[in-house]
Chains A and B, each alone.
Chain A
Amino acid sequence: MTVAAVLYNGLTKKFGSKVAVDELVAEIPAGSFFGICGPNGAGKTTLLRMTCGLLQPDAGRVEVAGHDVWADPVAAKSRLGMVPDSPSMFTRLTGRELVEFTGLLRGMNPEVVQERGSNLLRLLDLEEAAETLVADYSLGMSKKVAIACALLHNPRVLFLDEPFAGIDPVARQVLEETLKRFTAAGGTVAFSDHSMDVVERLCDRLLIIDEGKVVLAGTTAEITRGRRLQEVFVEAVGGSSTEGVDITWLGSTSG
């Protein structure tokens, strides 16, 4: 029997009259590389923020490693790590200081923080920039240092919101390898991304949501059934069409 790393039960969030997440029921199995997909405004970021205790749901429960995020937040948060899509961090600290600060904030032993921090910075190819202020990091470097902060306390589940957006192929390769190593060691990765190729390649399980509701859920193989994920996704959420729109002028030489 697979143990659930994350369990959603009737999770709901409304912003005014707009329902961002609608009675969502789902499960992220432990040790999985889990992809959360959906079109813009589908509720992915809202879901991740509620999972990490940054947004209070209107109804329902979220459990991380068996701990209710809202009833037992300290226990749940000690078992999760999070990297938002554009992480705002304490940019006037150096990369090393930021990692150290995050570890100490979590109440970790200073020696352990130093040792793990150095290892992570080396692993993520940030050792040379460790004494540089985060304010002067590129987007890729910022994401990598945010991942180092999120991994430092060895979480059971790592949540990432569009981790690969805007970063170069080399940094992407390092990130992918790090995350694969994390899941191979028993950790769970849940991430949202708009690139269906990346999701298809990395994830063993998927959750496709639209308008806050689960559209498809299961293993990647079950969902794609030999087809490309891009096609399945567009079919599931309903693609838009150029039919009925007069764009005959587009590309013509008449100006």
Chain B
Amino acid sequence: MAWLYLRLKARLIRNRLRNAGGWATLAFIGIWSLAFGVGSVMGLLGGVVARLVGGQGTAALFSLAGIAWLVGPVAAAALDETIEPRRLELLPITPTQMSWGLLAASFFGPGALVTILFVVGVMVGSSPDWLSLIPTLGAGIAFVVWCIASARWVTTLLTDLLRSRAGRDIAVVGAAILGGGSAFASTFLSNGSGDPMPALAAFGRVSVYLPPGALGRSLGLLADGEWGVGLALLVYGLAAIALVMLGWQRSLFRLSTRAPGRVSEAVARGGHSPLVPRLLSGWPAPQAATAGKELRYLRRDPRFRSQAVGLAVALAFLGLGAGRMLFGTEYSPFLAVIVAWMAASTTGFNQFGFDDRSFWSYLVTGVELRSVLVGKNLAVALVGLPVLALVAVVASVLVGDARHLGSAILSGAAILAVWLAVGNVVSVLGAYPLPESNLFGSRNVSGSALFASLGGLLAAGFLSLPIAAFVVVPLLIWGTWQGLSGAGVAVVIGLLIHRLSLRVAGSLLESRALRLLEVLDKPPV
């Protein structure tokens, strides 16, 4: 049965690649190569830590990897949809057969490859000689099984939640917070004593009571020839795996005999308020409506929400990292420029990708598509400008120097205009679908979209140079007021570039609208 599942998974992947074309094959090779690379590096690091810290270190590493396997797939809503249990529920397969089959199939994946390479590294690092490797094999294999089985059990338990709108919202925000949190933790760890090994050993002493930690400790002990405790911990780990498998089988049974989870009815808070913000009441209806719709989406769509959380995390990082160069100086309000760049670049280069398969709605109304672009830009400006101004004000209050506040806000506005301008053209030339169900990067990026994005980045960077020059040169050579005047000129240049981009992107849109529809209307692969 396990062999059948493995073949099924391989066949499904092959057919999917065949239908998706050459770029998908390249991406597939890329992902597997990346997994191999990451796994090799992790294996090397694991080996070094195991050698330096010993069994406690192995326990700590295995516990951390075990946690990553539990949290990662849930946070990424990474249901293995190649072999979906619900599609097999009508076949005469018992939950036991299904769980072992799914387990075997899960070994065929980039995550499993990384884990196997990591475990091999730890095994080599823990063993004083090649002969000692043999007794560690059992604990190593058991650990990989534990990781996959526990992750699959948890995702099976949460299948309905992860498929629901609310679940995806939770997952996306959770993932961003988790990513930011772990990066912060590692930053603080390296900023402390400089030697994380004692902390790892202490964590290893505690985590040995958990199954992955026990398997890690067991591996270390067996490598050192301490058979008694080593085998006892291995048996404990195997018993835990048996329990997880039982739990998973029960969850699979429940999943196949229960009605799919009902999506909770979500009512927009605060009842009905007009779609168009009062601020835009004088604008042409299609532009104002699009801006209103985009602002609603900024609040409600997990794709935008994840980018907002990512933006906040990145800003916090900048505050601690690169921002340190600016903090404490009178130039700190210029952090606003970074906010502007982020606000424009996060959504700006694939503006229609977020509309995904709803793009037809614009075409069937006969609306001038340039208006839609204007509306989208308006929404970004309505959010981006106050945020960048706020950051600039807060930064100047913190340093107690508001000399460059005006220049910073104007520079931010100019950069926002330039990046939005480039984004408008790239959004037409390099659109790709970004469906809600595929939050962590689209698998549908075509080669032309990739080149358009890269070209856009270069163009936006190039166009930002004169903007920067108009602000920086007078500011550094002559002083505050001249810098402010230069920033004013930069805004005018930014607006002119933006205006030009709307004309170019607008005419491109009209001629390429059906091509865009074809690209965006593709069901996700």
Contact = CB atoms under 8 A, between A and B. Distances in A.
A135 interface: yes
Contact of B264 (A97, A107, A136): A136
Interface in B330-365: 355-358, 360-365
Nearest to B301: A92
A21 to B, nearest CB: 16
A100 B292 CA distance: 11
A76 to B, nearest CB: 8
A85 B357 CA distance: 13
B500 interface: no
A106 B361 CA distance: 11
B267 interface: yes
Interface string B45-81: 0000000000000000000000000000000000000
A251 B199 CA distance: 69
Given A53-B363, A89-B358, A110-B276, A105 B289 contact: yes
Contacts of A13: none
Nearest to A89: B358
Interface in B352-401: 355-358, 360-367, 372
A102 B365 contact: yes
A155 B268 CA distance: 30
* From A53, A88, A109, residue with most partner B Cβ within 10 Å: A88
* From B267, B276, B290, B362, residue with most partner A Cβ within 10 Å: B267
B293 A53 contact: no
A251 B290 CA distance: 58
Interface stretch (A3-11, A126-134, A197-205): A126-134
A104 B283 CA distance: 11
Contacts of A218: none
B165 interface: yes
Contact of A77 (B285, B292, B365): B365
Contact of B366 (A74, A94, A97, A132): A74
Nearest to B165: A135
B366 A77 contact: yes
Contact of A94 (B272, B288, B289, B367): B272
A82 B271 contact: no
A93 interface: yes
Contact of B365 (A88, A106, A136): A106
Interface in B470-525: 514, 517
Nearest to B288: A104
A55 B296 contact: no
B129 interface: no
Contacts of B300: 92, 133
A95 B151 CA distance: 38
A101 B356 CA distance: 17
B260 to A, nearest CB: 13
Contacts of A39: none
A100 B266 contact: no
Given A107-B286, A130-B272, A102 B361 contact: yes
B285 A136 contact: no
B276 A105 contact: no
A116 to B, nearest CB: 14
A120 interface: no
B367 A136 contact: no
B202 interface: no
Contacts of B288: 104
B346 to A, nearest CB: 17
A73 interface: yes
A107 B285 contact: yes
Nearest to B359: A88
B232 interface: no
A56 interface: yes
Interface in A88-146: 88-94, 96-97, 100-102, 104-110, 130-133, 135-136
A97 B275 contact: yes
B297 interface: yes
Q: In the complex, which range does the number of interface residues on chain A fall in? A: 35 or more
Given A54-B514, A54-B517, A105-B290, A88 B366 contact: no
* From B266, B271, B372, residue with most partner A Cβ within 10 Å: B266
Interface residues of B, number: 39
Interface in B260-288: 263-268, 271-272, 274-276, 284-286, 288
Contacts of A82: 364
B363 A54 contact: yes
B285 A104 contact: yes
B364 A77 contact: yes
Contact of B266 (A53, A130, A133, A149): A133
A77 B360 CA distance: 12
A84 interface: yes
A131 B267 contact: yes
Contacts of A97: 268, 272, 275, 293, 296
A74 B355 CA distance: 21
Nearest to B265: A136
A52 B362 CA distance: 12
A224 interface: no
Nearest to B299: A92
Interface string B140-183: 00000000000000000000000001000000000000000000
Contacts of A91: 358
B362 A105 contact: yes
A183 interface: no
Contact of B514 (A56, A93, A135): A56
Interface in A48-62: 52-56
A78 interface: yes
B296 A92 contact: yes
A100 B366 CA distance: 16
A101 B292 contact: yes
Contacts of B297: 90, 92
Given A104-B285, A136-B165, A52 B358 contact: no
A104 B268 contact: no
A50 to B, nearest CB: 11
A104 B289 contact: yes
B133 to A, nearest CB: 51
B275 A101 contact: yes
Contact of A54 (B263, B264, B364): B364
B288 to A, nearest CB: 7
Interface in A16-75: 52-56, 73-74
A84 to B, nearest CB: 7
Nearest to A107: B285
Contacts of A109: 285
25 contacts: A52-B364, A73-B366, A77-B366, A84-B360, A89-B358, A90-B297, A90-B358, A100-B275, A101-B275, A101-B293, A102-B361, A104-B286, A104-B288, A105-B289, A105-B361, A105-B365, A105-B372, A107-B285, A109-B285, A110-B285, A132-B266, A133-B267, A135-B165, A136-B264, A136-B265
Counting from the closest, the 8 A-B pairs by CB-CB distance are A77-B366, A104-B289, A88-B357, A104-B285, A92-B300, A74-B366, A105-B365, A94-B268
Given A54-B514, A80-B364, 5 more contacts: A74-B366, A93-B275, A104-B289, A105-B286, A105-B367
